[in-house]
Amino acid sequence: MATLDVNGRVHEVHADDATPLLYVLREDLGLNAAKFGCGLGQCGACTVLADGEAIFSCITPISVVQGRKIRTVEGLGTAEKPGPMQQAFIEAQAAQCGYCIPGMMMRTQALLERKPAASEADIRAALQPHLCRCGTHMRIVRAAARAAELMRGKS
Amino acid sequence: MAVALAVLTGFGGCASERLQPIQQPPSFTRELVAKGAELAHLGNCMGCHTAEGGKAYAGGTPIKTPFGTIYGTNITPDANTGIGRWSQEAFARAMREGVDRDGGNLYPAFPYDHFTKLADEDIAALYAFLMTREPVRQENRANQVPIPRAFIGVWKSRYLERGAYQPVADRSAEWNRGAYLVQGLGHCGACHTPRNAMGAERKDAAFAGGEVEGWHAPALNSASPSPVPWTVEALHEYLRHGIADLHAMSAGPMAEVVHDLSQVADADVRAIATYVASLDTRSGAERNRAREAALARARASKAVQGNAVYDGSCGDCHNRGRGEEGGALELPLGTALTIPTARNLATIIRDGIVPSEGERGAWMPAFAGALTDQQLTDLLIYLRALSGQPAWPNVAADVRQISRGH
């Protein structure tokens, strides 16, 4: 049994301590934004935030994140009222198949919370652990830069 | 004795003669430049002379030593800020005597105690290579070492053994080639040999393991901590590709060395492997016993369950072994678990093993952010126990230091 704080809501979860956070998010809590890509921390599709740090949820057991504030794309806004990160990715039309995008968004979120005036070089460096097989990298970088503007309150 | 030492130190403290500048670099044959390019890789010259994100061979790389930070210098042929005015004689003198063109002593972070062994023709080739690089105008950064350069003369008189490599008669040509490269240009001992209080390599403990930039460079002699003892074949594979069956992949400064060795003649890598393997003089039977014990421990570790962090973060890959897709080395076979300090393993877990930008290479994800210092400390203690070695001292303190960025 573990207690997890996800997007500001506290959940009691019945799962083994070694269970990857990703499985609990998707299967127990129904939060399907974070994706299962490789299961080995190689592709970044499962990235979520724990106390503001981007982590691979597929190789992070729930025992490790108890007591930390976990955030997923569901916590950034809704379809009706997208948050600045989501708005930026919509404006830039950064998704093709979209599978990698939630991870990209959460990694960018972590970067911009730490460094609101991140440069394009910062964005590229931060997104290094993420793969996109469609090849929308240029739009993703543009979306990340746009998110920085929106988060600084620029319309 | 006292008089002799005084004479020696007095002599060593003297500044050397200033050598005349040249007007412009001479021309070289294509073959000589190509040979120099390979030698520059064998010497890992870029490691110190190219800064992250900087221009090739333009220097500025910080090298942290126990005595302070020294910056790699600009060795491009720029006339004002590089070595564009250096004659080959001046270059050879720097390599062998640790003296710059003006006659000033160079700090022995520049490993002239190794380069002194180089043959004339190799120095000529390196000179040809460097003098044909793109000149970069970039001032050298001032070293932050509170030791006057005059003192270096004393250091040299005690620790610099001048003279070219002398082949060992009863060894093969391949072994001698390896010894020449390892002891000379490759300067392997600069990291893999422990240093004394004066910062000189301890000749009585050659290849017994050393410290470099926050990493422990494992022993290469009979005290090698490698759970499965190295063979010529495994070393060749590792030095060539950064990964070998039954051994952990290269990380930290060694990953750079491997990257360099991927650019040189295979025969030279094999020669280095031949020489390094010979440093471990344990009997075949003893090495076999160590190998079997390590393999048994690796098999047993796959069955062990019960550490949630290991099972959730490491086990998915490391329990599979290299044989399976997505599989990684069983951890009891990893040298990072058996060396005397937790620092290498802590650094690898935090930062992962990531090829340099745009390059292919061996890979492991970083766990920075996922694991707290306490969780990382607990995991290190658990992994050390898997290796069957006595507990590490000061794991928590090491982790705190590494979290703060070494």
Residue B1, pLDDT > 50, answer: no
Q: Report chain A residues whose CB lies below 8 A from the CB of B370.
A: 50, 53, 55-56, 59-60, 64-65
Alpha-carbon distance B22 to nearest alpha carbon in chain A (angstroms) = 41
Write the single-letter amino acid at B281: T
Average pLDDT over chain A reads 96
Q: Are B20 and B85 in contact (CB under 8 A)?
A: no
Residue B4, pLDDT > 50, answer: no
Q: Report chain A residues whose CB lies below 8 A from the CB of B354.
A: 128
Compute the average pLDDT of residues A10-23. Answer: 96
Q: What's the pLDDT tens digit per position in A72-121?
A: 999 999 999 999 999 999 999 999 999 999 999 999 999 999 999 999 99
- Please enumerate in sequence order all residues whose Cβ is within 8 A of that of B292, keeping only pairs 6 or more positions apart, or say none: none
- Please enumerate in sequence order all residues whose Cβ is within 8 A of that of B288, keeping only pairs 6 or more positions apart, or say none: none
| B63: three-class secondary structure by DSSP | strand
| Closest CB from A40, A60, A128 relative to B370 | A60
Compute the average pLDDT of residues B279-288. Answer: 98
pTM of the model: 0.92
Per-residue pLDDT at B340: 96
What is each CA distance from A109 to A14, A80, B30, B115, in whole angstroms? 29, 20, 51, 49
Q: Which chain A residue's Cα is nearest to B368?
A: A55
- Phi, psi for A68 (deg, rounded to 5): -110, 155
ipTM of the complex: 0.92
The secondary structure of B5-58 as a DSSP string is HHHHHHHHHSPPPPPPPPSS-----HHHHHHHHHHHHHTTHHHHHB-TTS-TT-
**Residue A91: count of CB within 10 angstroms of its CB:** 14
> How many residues does the structure list for chain B?
406
| 3-state helix/strand/coil string of chain A | CEEEEECCEEEEECCCCCCEHHHHHHHHCCCCCCCCCCCCCCCCCCEEEECCEEEEHHHCEHHHHCCCEEECHHHHCCCCCCCHHHHHHHHCCCCCCCCCHHHHHHHHHHHHHHCCCCCHHHHHHHCCCCCCCCCCHHHHHHHHHHHHHHHCCCC
Interstrand relation of A2-6 and A69-71 (parallel, antiparallel or unpaired)? parallel
Measuring CA to CA, which residue among A114, A106, A44 is closest to residue A70? A106
**Torsion angle in degrees (nearest 10) through CA of A25, A29, A33, A35:** 40
Measuring CA to CA, which residue among B47, B64, B53, B73 is closest to residue B138? B73
Residue B376, pLDDT > 80, answer: yes
Per-residue pLDDT at B12: 43
Q: Which chain A residue's Cα is nearest to B379?
A: A64
Task: Give the Cα separation of B372 and B399 in Å (integer).
Answer: 10
Which two three-digit tokens encode residue B84? Answer: 């564009």
Residue B97, pLDDT > 70, answer: yes
Compute the average pLDDT of residues B373-383. Answer: 96
- Band (pLDDT 50/70/90 cuts) for residue B304 is confident
CB pairs under 8 A between A and B: 61
Write the single-letter amino acid at B63: I
Residue B264, pLDDT > 50, answer: yes
Q: What's the pLDDT tens digit per position in B175-223?
A: 999 999 999 999 999 999 999 999 999 999 999 999 998 999 999 999 9
Per-residue pLDDT at A90: 97
Share above pLDDT 70 across residues of chain B, in percent, rounded to a whole number:
96
| Closest CB from B308, B326, B363 relative to A17 | B308
- Band (pLDDT 50/70/90 cuts) for residue B292 is very high
Per-residue pLDDT at B150: 83
Residue B262, pLDDT > 90, answer: yes
Q: Report chain B residues whose CB lies below 8 A from the CB of A107.
A: none
Per-residue pLDDT at B358: 75
Measuring CA to CA, which residue among A24, A7, A31 is closest to residue A60? A24
Per-residue pLDDT at B15: 66
Per-residue pLDDT at B406: 52
Cβ–Cβ below 8 Å for A61 and B317: no
Best interface-test mutation with A: which of B367, B373, B377, B379 has the largest number of A CBs within 10 A? Answer: B367
Look at B149-153, B269-273, B331-335 and tell me which has the smallest mean pLDDT. B149-153
**CA dihedral for A47, A49, A54, A55, sign (positive or negative):** negative
The backbone region for B196, taken as left when phi is positive above 0, alpha when psi lies in -120 to 50, beta otherwise, is beta
| B93: three-class secondary structure by DSSP | helix
| B218: three-class secondary structure by DSSP | coil
Q: Report chain B residues whose CB lies below 8 A from the CB of A17.
A: 308, 312
- Greatest CA span in chain B, whole angstroms? 71
